[in-house]
Structure 1
Amino acid sequence: MNKIPRRIVTGIKDGKSVIIEDETVKNAVEHFPDLIISDIWNTQQMPVSLDFETPIPNTGFPQTPKNGTYFRYVSIPPDKDLGVEVEAGKSHPMMHQTQTLDYIIILSGELYLIMEEGETLLKPGDIVIQRGTNHAWSNRSEKPCIQLAVLIDAEK
């Protein structure tokens, strides 16, 4: 499984900023074959508390806390390795919708963002602003795609 670094540098000791954690994440999981997800950080309220972290379990599809956020690392394998098959005339089997505003950055690989009408190819450096719409991801390449996402609780 991928070694995902997580560094938390916002600690205070004797009135000075310090690094309080510098290690790999402990909560990377595979909900589907080779689909690696780690919820790196979350917040439970707005404004955010800077004093502590409330660890949450990873889920295949995010469940962002009310008035909270998720910071999520996702490694999406090629569709053929994930076992995803799209049938003509039917919606993508991984189509989903969250009640969140998402900021997504593609770090490596490539990935199609599929909407109910239309799709677009994303490459490293591309940014997606996902505003609570029905969508799916499709990796039609031969290599995994790594994305980072910040999901923010939202209202319609």
Structure 2
Amino acid sequence: MIDVGMDGARRSRLENIETVDLVPGQDREIWQSFEADAGVPFYPGPGESLFRFFILPPPDDALSLEDVHAIADQFFQQNGIEHCRGEASRNPFMHATPTADCVMLLSGHVQLLLDHGAPVDLRPFDVIRQRETNHSWVNVGPGPAVLITLMHGVPAGVV
């Protein structure tokens, strides 16, 4: 990540260069518009914004459906977002957050699942705009998928 700022004469300058390690299955926050001393939440509050990478691990054919459900349970619990779980008959990771989002697939092959219709096939540099929609991201492989998102918190239920 490269931070650019200005000096006292308002001339642009390089302030910092930091290597950002991306690990499958982990989020990497880049910026948020709010203080996060206790850790960055899964989604921002109303009027706040959050910019992050998220990496979907490659599919694992060795996992049973029961394993996937257990992983989803752990994901929602660890992130404190059980209340965001949506109707999950299509996928145990279905969720909706009180946010307006722009998401871009940077690498990999992902399908976007919604409540209705066929899975939406995504390729690198596809951009998804959504607001409070029940959805899930499915990495169809073969390797990890890297996405980046800008989430803006909105009052829940205001469509």
SS in 2 for 1:14: coil
Rounded Cα–Cα distance in structure 2 between residues aligned with 1:74 and 1:146? 6
Please state if 1:80 is matched with 2:80: no
Which residue is 1:14 aligned to? 8
Instruction: Map 1:68-147 to 2 at 5 A.
Output: 68-80=48-60, 83=63, 85=65, 90-118=89-117, 119-147=119-147
Note closer, same or farther for the CA distance 1:94–1:152 as it changes in structure 2 (3 Å cut): same
Query: How far off its partner does 1:125 sit?
Result: 1.4
The corresponding residue for 1:36 is 26
Residues 21-70 of structure 1, C-alpha deviations (whole Å, 9 max, x = no match): 211248x6x6xxx31211100113xxxxxxxxx456245xx221331101
Higher strand share: 1
Unaligned regions of 5+ residues in structure 2, if any? 70-87
* Shift in alpha-carbon separation, 1:82–1:136, aligned structure 2, 3 A: farther
Q: TM-score, normalised by structure 2?
A: 0.72
Contact kept in structure 1, 2:43 and 2:99, CA below 8 Å: no
TM-score if structure 1 supplies the norm length? 0.73
RMSD of equivalent CA atoms: 2.6
**Cα gap change, 1:153/1:82 in structure 2, threshold over 3 Å: closer, same or farther?**
farther
CA distance in 1, matches of 2:136, 2:116: 11
Q: Which has the higher helix share?
A: 2
Deviation at 1:115, TM superposition (A): 0.8
Q: Give percent identity, aligned residues only.
A: 27
Aligned residues: 133
Give 5+ residue unaligned stretches, structure 1: 1-5, 45-53
